Amino acid sequence: MDNVTASEVAGMAVGALLLAATVAAPRVDAFISASQRRSLRMCSRCGDLRVIPCSKCGGAGVVSGGGLLFGLPFLPNPSDERSATAARPPCPECRSKGRIPCPLCSGKLPSSSSPLP
Ligand SMILES: [Zn+2]
Ligand SMILES: [Zn+2]
């Protein structure tokens, strides 16, 4: 009785573990990649790209939705055929580049004094 119960519990535990592993896989993968970057002395945020996708516009370079325009005295020029495009203001965060300097690396050049293994 006890053996059956124990094996059942073990089976449930393994099932739960597999489920948890499946659910947590992306996070674990992200964690591992971050730790790998760290072990490689790469920036854990940008991987030494020095830039990261702009979180404000999602890398699109323009603010979607035009929410910033509401409340601003913005009058689209009716003669401008590209007023639709102009209605989407460039992202002020990344200046329509879609990328922003990595907050962990920006202005912090790799120190030449840090010895590499
Ligand atoms: Zn970085
Ligand atoms: Zn942006």
d(CA 101, CA 13): 44
> Rounded to 5 degrees, what are φ and ψ at 36?
-65, -45
CA of 89 relative to ligand 1 center, distance in Å = 27
pLDDT of residue 19: 84
Tokens read off for 91 = 């992202």
Percentage of the chain modeled with pLDDT above 70? 67
CA of 47 relative to ligand 1 center, distance in Å = 6
Question: Which ligand is nearest the CA of 42, by number?
Answer: 1
* Bigger pLDDT: 66 vs 42: 42
Query: pLDDT tens digits for 73-101?
Result: 455 555 544 444 456 788 898 988 999 99
pLDDT of residue 76: 52
* Bigger pLDDT: 51 vs 117: 51
d(CA 101, CA 55): 11
Number of Cα atoms under 13 Å in the Cβ half of residue 47: 7
Whole-number average pLDDT of the chain:
74
Percentage of the chain modeled with pLDDT above 90? 5
CA of 85 relative to ligand 2 center, distance in Å = 16
Report the SS3 class of residue 43: coil
